[in-house]
Structure 1
Amino acid sequence: MKRLASLAGGAVLVLCVTAVAAPAVPEFAAQASVQLHSDDGLHRLVLPLAVLQRSQRQDLADVRVLSANGAPVPMAWAEPPPTQTSTRLVAVPRFAWPAVAATAGRHAPVKVRVDAQGAVVQVETASSVAPAPPTVAAQWLLDLNRVRRELGAGERLLALRVDWQTPAEGSTVHAVLEASDDLQQWRPAGDALLLDAPGVGGAAGERLSVRRILMPSDTSVPKYLRLRLDPAVPLQRVDAELQGRSDSAALDSAQVRFEPVPAEGGAVREWVLDLQGSVALRRLQLELPQRNTVASFQLDRRAETRDSWQPVASFTSYWLLRDGRELRAPGVDLSVPPSRYWRLRLSARSPDVGAQALPSTVHWQAPQLVFAARGEPPFSLQVGKAHAGPQDVSLAQLIPGYRTGEEFTLPAATLGEVQAVTPPSLSLTERLSRSTPAERRRWALWAVLAVAVGLLAWLARRLMREMNAPPPP
């Protein structure tokens, strides 16, 4: 019983010392200085990856901007940057397709001569039947090799613009497209009803005009198109309409490595990436370890290790040498919620690509916040508190007469190096005054436990005395 009493007393002493001598926990884990470059009252601040990695909230609710005296300033989160679209026209070389192809089908005696780059040089018939005059041909071969070469990053083939000589009374033309990459196998690529006619009830000289053939958005640009017009009209020009999309704010990027996860037997068909913070990826550029490799992958994500993996995208990556040039797969565009953990898996039929790590480049849209420079400088940013609640307001509340995208016209502040916050040395009274209700409840539970252990020790000591007392006479 003496041993039991000693243990109980020791437990009480340990609990008391822990409660008094436990180091103070800082309110936020990291901080950085905020430098203003304008006297305006509202400023815009871009958050780098280091801030996302320090945040303990997926919604970044633990981010604060403070004035010199430590008071939080009014702030709001910027909306996603507006997407800007632009279009441009690229002239498409056209060649009259001999009329015999309309009846002879795919095996028509037509010869197409191309140069070393695949560009069409001449189209002629090998039969004794003379082709129709080029200006009124019912079918045309369109060479898209130039379009493919000039297609920029983020651009796609939106439509074909067809111009033909139209009579005063107008005309209606049914256009049908077929696509091919080898001039042998042709596949449907779309159709449209083209129109050019005088307007009804409009101003003098007004005409109704539909001259665009929309292209499928989910297919790549073929090398060749075959255009069939019904009825045949004098074709004057064909242009490829290219559409580009860009964000008003550039994407941030970082070089990362997907680390291999060996399976049973040592084979590697899975790789994982820990970004150390929740990041909403917008693009992934994967680098394969060996040339002349083609592999199909599945990309998954999850916010926490306890969560299940969620599928994101399936894609094929390649690194090939062809015609003396290296061909690499383009980056994969993504639109997913912020996540910390990412996984790459080889598809079931894809061959192994090796057991080494997979270098990659990830791109994301850096979050931006708008804050009012209330109080005295210097200002600072603090981040990293798991139980912090959001304190932001809406942009309409912060910016008078707010219009969409207006926050991106505000002067930009710059953020200094993100550094860990050293816990201050505080007395027990100071810690109690600065504690949150949740912390005070936790300490109260520890106090109740300490009292219970002390009571058990007192009862054990009393019982021990009663047992060691001499029996009554």
Structure 2
Amino acid sequence: MRRIASALLALSALPVLASPTAAEFARRQPIVLGAGPAALHRLDLPADVYRFSARRDVSDLQVFNAAGEAVPWAISPAHGQPRPARDYPLPAFPLPSLAKANRSAGIVLDSRGLPASNRAYLALELEQSAYRGRVALSASDDGERWQPLESRELLQLSGSALRLDLHGDGSRYLRLDWLDKPFKLRRASLHVGPGAAEPLLQSGDWIAAKPGAAGEYLFDLGMRAPLRRLELALPNPNTSARGVWYKRERPDQPWQNAFSSELTQLGQASTLLLENLDGDSDRYWRLVVDTRQGGLGAGLPRLRASWPRQQLTFAARGQPPFMLAYGHPSFFITDQANTLLNSPEPAQPAALGPALAGGVRPAPPAQAPMPKKSPWLWGSLLLAVGLLGWISYRLIKEPAPSDTQ
């Protein structure tokens, strides 16, 4: 037993695989500290982290001090101020594809991109100074399947705004159908009550589409960020078309249906808020438009993605300058130093310098290659195997001690 214990002690002295150095990551960026010493520093994660990271949770990053030593860090979302009560103007337009036979056409109101919680009521300002008629209010998330919310009589005598209770509904589209007498709408607004602070968003660059088949547009976001919002810039104003969106994470995967949307832009050119996403990290997107009424016209649309802004807090252990490194095919952190986020010590703001290319490229997300080992480490592992074999041989050949009375 003493021999086995000695062998295990010798094996424990063999070196383990070391953590990668800053130069072994795909990207490095120097950290510029603010004035004055501080125990904690905080900075916004750059968009390049999502371009070069090999992992969805961007856990393959590290912060190094001047001596090349790793320091503790943690990632947290950046939040804005609590949301006050507010009235949001709503674009209003008729959608012929929603009109039904033998029924009066109505008005569709677009509330995409607006807060979905604490919606109180819909306010209507009419062109008529006096109006009396019955209307039906419906809601939908896709513009096809509508859920009735309220049907009631509206009475306006003095020109004041009319209100329709939304019963807390947070749908993307609202539709007004007049059941007897139509009205002329001057303005519609959505009243949203106060709410908690929401995560701040970070937006990427506008990506021009690549044309595919007729009515098909392909987009490569160039990153795998946890998407929260998509915006589309149409090539021409006064456009109304129906579009179906598809997504996938890698080019070798089949397309998956994501959602449908009405691509309507009347009057002055503006961007369309397409969808409030829930953390989709798909890089490739495909838009298919019905071209029977001209589709989007000449030119190509552009797409922009937004995701929650993330902040990195790290402990200033050791001497500056500090370096942020990210993108590694085999390294990642499983347990962040989340206690830094609850520290009473205030974190001083920091910034990032220009990005520097590293020594490795992140592997495709499908599979990561085995980490490279130096010849010295390979030799150590072979020596350990040989030592174990020699110990086993000696223990087998050595006769057991005889019992003595």
Task: Give the residue type in structure 2 aligned to 1:158.
Answer: R
Who is 1:384 aligned against?
A: 327
The separation in 1 between residues aligned to 2:121 and 2:223, in whole angstroms, is 44
Instruction: Note the 1:12-411 alignment, pairs <5 A.
Output: 27-37=24-34, 38-79=36-77, 81=79, 84-88=82-86, 154=114, 158-160=119-121, 186-188=135-137, 190=149, 213-215=165-167, 216-218=169-171, 220=173, 241-243=191-193, 247=198, 249-261=200-212, 263=213, 267=214, 269-321=215-267, 329-346=272-289, 351-354=294-297, 356-390=299-333, 392-395=335-338, 397-400=339-342, 410-411=347-348
Contact 1:83 1:248 (C-alpha < 8 Å) held by counterparts: no
The separation in 1 between residues aligned to 2:247 and 2:81, in whole angstroms, is 25
CA-CA distance at 1:412 after TM superposition: 2.2
Contact 1:254 1:361 (C-alpha < 8 Å) held by counterparts: yes
The separation in 2 between residues aligned to 1:188 and 1:319, in whole angstroms, is 23
Gaps of 5+ in 1: 1-24, 91-147, 163-176, 193-211, 227-238, 424-435, 445-473
SS across alignment from 1:317: strand
Task: Flag the 1:33–1:283 CA change in 2: closer, same or farther, 3 A.
Answer: same
What does the per-residue CA deviation read over 1:20-51, in whole Å, with 9 as the maximum and x for residues that have no partner? xxxxx951122110011152212222112223
Task: Give the residue type in structure 2 aligned to 1:34.
Answer: I
The separation in 1 between residues aligned to 2:136 and 2:113, in whole angstroms, is 26
The separation in 2 between residues aligned to 1:337 and 1:413, in whole angstroms, is 29
Who is 1:432 aligned against?
A: none
CA-CA distance at 1:297 after TM superposition: 1.9
What does the per-residue CA deviation read over 1:339-380, in whole Å, with 9 as the maximum and x for residues that have no partner? 322222225877532574322333222332221111110000
* Structural RMSD (CA): 4.7
The separation in 1 between residues aligned to 2:171 and 2:150, in whole angstroms, is 16
Task: Flag the 1:401–1:378 CA change in 2: closer, same or farther, 3 A.
Answer: closer
The separation in 1 between residues aligned to 2:271 and 2:53, in whole angstroms, is 35
Gaps of 5+ in 2: 1-21, 89-108, 139-148, 152-163, 180-188, 361-368, 379-405
Task: Flag the 1:391–1:155 CA change in 2: closer, same or farther, 3 A.
Answer: closer
Task: Flag the 1:437–1:53 CA change in 2: closer, same or farther, 3 A.
Answer: closer
Task: Give the residue type in structure 1 aligned to 2:200.
Answer: A
What does the per-residue CA deviation read over 1:135-161, in whole Å, with 9 as the maximum and x for residues that have no partner? xxxxxxxxxxxxx9xx99735782249
Who is 2:400 aligned against?
A: none
Task: Give the residue type in structure 2 aligned to 1:77.
Answer: I
Task: Flag the 1:350–1:338 CA change in 2: closer, same or farther, 3 A.
Answer: farther
Contact 2:134 2:178 (C-alpha < 8 Å) held by counterparts: no
CA-CA distance at 1:420 after TM superposition: 0.8
SS across alignment from 2:331: coil
Contact 2:77 2:309 (C-alpha < 8 Å) held by counterparts: no
The separation in 2 between residues aligned to 1:214 and 1:49, in whole angstroms, is 38
The separation in 1 between residues aligned to 2:63 and 2:304, in whole angstroms, is 30
SS across alignment from 2:332: coil
Task: Give the residue type in structure 2 aligned to 1:373.
Answer: A
Who is 2:141 aligned against?
A: none
The separation in 1 between residues aligned to 2:176 and 2:370, in whole angstroms, is 68
Is residue 414 from structure 1 mapped to residue 354 from structure 2 by the alignment?
A: no
TM normalised by structure 1 equals 0.51
Task: Flag the 1:219–1:278 CA change in 2: closer, same or farther, 3 A.
Answer: closer
The separation in 2 between residues aligned to 1:29 and 1:241, in whole angstroms, is 47
Of Structure 1 and Structure 2, the greater helix share is in 1
The separation in 1 between residues aligned to 2:342 and 2:275, in whole angstroms, is 39
The count of aligned residue pairs is 295
CA-CA distance at 1:315 after TM superposition: 1.1
The separation in 2 between residues aligned to 1:298 and 1:161, in whole angstroms, is 28
Who is 1:10 aligned against?
A: none
Contact 1:161 1:240 (C-alpha < 8 Å) held by counterparts: yes
Contact 1:53 1:277 (C-alpha < 8 Å) held by counterparts: yes
